[in-house]
Amino acid sequence: MGFSKDFLWGGATAANQYEGGWNEGGKGPSVPDHIRGGTVSAPRLWDKEIDPDIYYPSHQAVDFYHRYEEDIDLMGDMGFKCFRMSINWSRIYPTGMDENPNEEGIEFYHKVFRKLKERGIEPLVTLSHYELPWGLSEKYDGWYGRDVIDHFVRYAKTCFEAYKDEVKYWLTFNEINIGMSGFGKIMGLGMQGEDHQPMFKADNSPETLSRVFTALHHQFVASAKAVVIGHEINPEFRIGNMIAGMLGYGYTCNPNDVFAADQSFNMGNFFCGDVQVRGHYPYYAKRYFKDNGIKVEMEPGDEEILAKGTVDFYSFSYYMSSCISTDPEVTEKAAGNMFSGIKNPYLEASDWGWQIDPAGLRTYLNRVYGRYEVPLMVVENGLGANDEISEDGKIHDPYRIDYLRKHIKAMKEAVEDGVELMGYTMWGCVDLVSASTGEMKKRYGFIYVDRDNDGNGDFHREKKDSFDWYKKVIETNGEDLE
């Protein structure tokens, strides 16, 4: 028992947080290129017009665009089997609506894939990781516009055809379930509102929710169409979905808390999983839509497409857990990955208040595998921490090693429970920009990048202690975690 011999160990990134080169090589602006930096207490704002005097973290991010060879060599030295990255849609179609793709953009990713191949690393490519071209966001209010489906399918087809011999593993939409949150409205769905608003602004009116769930429906249809076309282009492709793993425990054994936690798991995780893995809307969605006054604009034929375009595997991010309470007196909240809940007295939290819960990963893996029985992949997991350079000039990050060790142990237990697990790509293997806060200070990597919250630094890379530790983990296929 233990991890399979072809287990995909590696790391994960997203173009808007990692790549930079935002206006180079013919790339057009994307939604994150309009979003400023922030902190936990000063949420990120977004601008309709990019202001040249304002610092936007995605513009240079950590400069993978110019440093991909160096980074991939470092990943190769760590023994990566797999590297999760996203293609920046507006590098391929600068406005999203262009007649022809941008050849320079296509060539950039060829160069990346060739370099990965040279180092024996399998790419896992997300087609859309919060990277809607700004042109589409502006013209259609993001995914609310049904036409965006066709633009996405054309983009996906271009990528599948261009890279059919270089990429086998694909994901359609990053954390598709995040679309239901305030954050996801602009980042995931590219839906605009008033200029200069904080990203996290939630509005739960029936009108807004109806637009949000219609936009999400458009993503479901787009994803299903892409899966069908991808399999036609190359039957060897393995195309997965990607869900933000949201685990909420009932705060007490009060049956009401337990039921509320189940309901929250349903809408938080299974709702999108059911549509993308089982190929249809689940039974409980009807009541949720009714209770919240939600009307989803669907068209004839959509149900058939959803049924045809089911994914080959289920992938997800997992960072933390929280609790759900029905008692109005229980109010102490925990911070979280685009979502939050009640604080759990049994758990410790990261520097950013995310509650650390390795056992929850085993629970999540078992619960999801039990429902779908398709291969699973953990495509994001990691610790955002405030790394300091020590007097010896090195970065000692035992807290990160401890976090990862415990989560890998939990995965191993799940594998021994019988869960079919394809791989593990730790989030932010090279330090990159935080999605929720826009900070650089919140670091996840095995590799440090010299860059700060205000955009200072020369981008040079340094190995942290966790670099050698993860190398050993991969070398021993997860047997030596000490």
Catalytic (active-site) positions: 175, 380
Q: Which residue's Cβ has the minimum distance to ligand BG6?
A: 436
DSSP state of 385: B
**At closest approach, how far in Å is the CB of 441 from ligand BG6?**
11
Nearer to ligand BG6, 88 or 437 (CB): 437
Looking at the DSSP bridge assignments, the partners of residue 249 are 323
**At closest approach, how far in Å is the CB of 246 from ligand BG6?**
10
DSSP per position, 260-328: HHHHHHIIIIIHHHIIIIISS--HHHHHHHHHTT------TTHHHHHHH---SEEEEE---EEEE---T
Nearest residue to 28 via CA among 84, 128, 98: 98
Nearer to ligand BG6, 63 or 175 (CB): 175
- The packing angle between helices 147-162 and 206-233, to 10°, is 30
Cα–Cα distances in Å, from 369 out to 107, 239, 319, 355, 365? Answer: 38, 17, 18, 23, 6
Q: 457: burial class by Cβ within 10 Å (0-12, 13-18, 19+)?
A: middle
**At closest approach, how far in Å is the CB of 242 from ligand BG6?**
8
Nearer to ligand BG6, 145 or 384 (CB): 384
Q: For residues 51, 203, 382 and 35, what is the CA-based torsion angle, rounded to 10 degrees? A: 0
424 phi, psi to nearest 5 deg = -145, 115
**At closest approach, how far in Å is the CB of 14 from ligand BG6?**
5
Nearest residue to 427 via CA among 175, 176, 109: 175
What is the contact surface with ligand BG6 in residues (CB under 6 A)?
14, 17, 174-175, 244, 317, 337-338, 380, 384, 427, 434-437, 442
**At closest approach, how far in Å is the CB of 276 from ligand BG6?**
16
Nearer to ligand BG6, 310 or 437 (CB): 437
Looking at the DSSP bridge assignments, the partners of residue 46 are 35
Nearest residue to 355 via CA among 308, 398, 323: 323
Nearer to ligand BG6, 181 or 264 (CB): 181
Nearer to ligand BG6, 138 or 175 (CB): 175
Nearer to ligand BG6, 174 or 214 (CB): 174
With b for 16 or more beta-carbon neighbours within 10 A and e for fewer, the 427-449 pattern comes to: bbbbbbbbbbbbbbbbbbbbbbb
The answer to whether the beta carbons of residues 415 and 369 sit under 8 Å apart is no
Dist CA 244 CA 432 (whole Å) = 19
**At closest approach, how far in Å is the CB of 428 from ligand BG6?**
7
Q: Which two tokens stand for residue 178?
A: 């995040």
Nearer to ligand BG6, 229 or 407 (CB): 407
**At closest approach, how far in Å is the CB of 127 from ligand BG6?**
14
**How open is the CA angle 472-476-479, to the nearest 5 degrees?**
105
Beta strands in 28-133 (DSSP E): 82-86, 122-128
98 phi, psi to nearest 5 deg = -65, 150
Q: Which two tokens stand for residue 459?
A: 């981008």
**At closest approach, how far in Å is the CB of 161 from ligand BG6?**
26
Q: Which two tokens stand for residue 56?
A: 């936007």
